[in-house]
Structure 1
Amino acid sequence: MPPTSSATKDSAAAHIWAKGVSVDFSHAGQTNRVLHNIDMSIPRGGFVSLIGPSGCGKSTLLKVLAGLLQPAEGEVRVAGVTPAEAARQRRIGLVFQEATLMPWKNALDNVKVLMEIAYKDRSKEDITQRATEMLRLVGLEKAALKRPSQLSGGMRQRVSIARALAMDPEVLMMDEPFGALDAITREEMSEFLLEIWQRTGKTIVFVTHSIDEAVFLSREVHVMGTGPARIVETMPITLPYPRVEESYSLPEFAVASGRLRRLLKDGHGSKATS
């Protein structure tokens, strides 16, 4: 169903737009609402994080925005079209917590794999050149011939990000991509991701359990709560860019992280980490 005239105007002004989105799951003859009445507007080139307690629907919302799940109610637009159409047009790139690389392929071939499936009209040389450029972008050009078992966890995630960027999506949707990494590597990957975002101008939607990660990365944080699952508040982050290691000690950082903690508690509790 196409948007109404007012919805058309609103969705056209945003790169990602959602209105009244609800999701129901059925089990054993009962229907449970896992997302309720979600409204969202993300500008082109924005960096938005979704944060909230476990089970509040962060990953479910990301799947709706990515076109992997159809909402029971409401409308969603990505770059002016439905998420499913945006995905078909390769406007959306996905990065998950696990890098999901093919263990028998080296880093370069893992970056190439989606392009080889999608771009039947491109030569092998063009695909290899594009993949090499993406590995260079994520700082792994010298590791091109290494297999995943020869790479650290952070390096494997860089390959995963390079694979998504190789398709040149407008939007990058990331579901806790650094959640399995140690604290130091996680901070390094956060700085790396901001560099990539600023160089490419992609719109990024980022799911995390970490308060500090959300503050460090985002221009805006959508705080989710339960009972029912919903967005409690949309909070702008005024911490100046570029953000570096010293940003964690700024007064603005402490204020933002403190407010996020209070919002998460008000949203029916959280185990978000710092």
Structure 2
Amino acid sequence: MNATMDTPDTRPHLWARGVAVDFTHDGVRNRVLHNIALDIPRGSFVSLIGPSGCGKSTLLKVLAGLLAPTEGEVRVADVEPGEAARQQRIGLVFQEATLMPWKNALDNVKLLMEIARRDLNNDQINERAMEMLTLVGLEKSANKLPSQLSGGMRQRVSIARALALDPEVLMMDEPFGALDAITREEMCEFLLEIWARTRKTIVLVTHSIEEAVFLSQEVHVMATNPARIIETLPIALPLPRCEATYALPDFGMTAGRLRALLKHGHGAGAAA
């Protein structure tokens, strides 16, 4: 990987203070998130990791403006997440690519722009969509339907679609969870390339210890009972990262530290 990265701006691009989320079911109040505090610098790559049921996806929904917290404050680029989403400052990528099966790759990338970018004409939308497909290495697959693409290629189209609106923050919920191990590693290297080129702030939810260590500058470790962040672990591995990174002694030590934290924080709790 040829891209290089500068040290990111240390001013918080995204922050949360005292965030809690309660759900009520059959009259019983259940605390899903408790007293969450986060500071995410502009241009950084951070991961949220924790055992199943610790509320990682719920926290991502709060940060993305999809779910209002019961308590606390969240800001993205100095505004509330809902407003940041309306201003198209937030891009979302989920585990499933959720592409329209009857649209080719180019038209799937164009979809959000056609809805949200009334200031662009058709030629400008086409040009921007092709730029994004080129960015993710799929310019030669522009006319292919999702059924003609591999799982990794479909996720690349999904990432291109999210980037087409030029968001400041890219939030990703287990985007590679459905891929095989080799494709998943390839997608991790690809994602670091995209991060290096675009300088986006990326927030990733993952269950994978190795994925979190390989991709991140910082990992926020979550636990259950109550659902909370128990530690923030800086990742000091050198950039750029590649296949050889997995063999570094520091990689193994960091992964071991995360594994110990996850075992310590594992327990019964709210559903993610």
After TM superposition, the score normalised by the length of structure 2 is 0.94
Aligned to 1:227: 225
CA distance in 1, matches of 2:265, 2:216: 20
CA distance in 2, matches of 1:135, 1:245: 24
Aligned 8 A contact 2:225 2:267 in 1: no
CA distance in 1, matches of 2:219, 2:121: 41
Change (3 A) 1:26 1:269: closer
Return structure 1 stretches of 4+ with deviation > 2 angstroms. none
Shift of 1:120: 1.7
Aligned to 1:238: 236
Q: CA RMSD in A?
A: 1.1
Aligned to 2:153: 155
One-letter code aligned to 1:214? A
Q: How does 1:27-176 map to 2 (within 5 A)?
A: 27-176=25-174
CA distance in 1, matches of 2:227, 2:212: 19
1:180 to 168, 178, 181: 178
One-letter code aligned to 2:148? Q
Identity of matched residues, %: 77
One-letter code aligned to 2:37? D
Change (3 A) 1:237 1:269: farther
1:26 to 24, 29, 32: 24
2:130 partner SS: helix
Aligned 8 A contact 2:48 2:220 in 1: yes
Cα deviation, 1:183-225, whole Å, max 9, x if unaligned, reads: 0000000000000000000000000000000000000000000
After TM superposition, the score normalised by the length of structure 1 is 0.93
Cα deviation, 1:112-138, whole Å, max 9, x if unaligned, reads: 000000112311000000000000000
Gap regions ≥5 residues in structure 2: 1-9
CA distance in 1, matches of 2:163, 2:195: 11
CA distance in 2, matches of 1:176, 1:102: 20
1:15 partner SS: strand
Change (3 A) 1:59 1:96: same
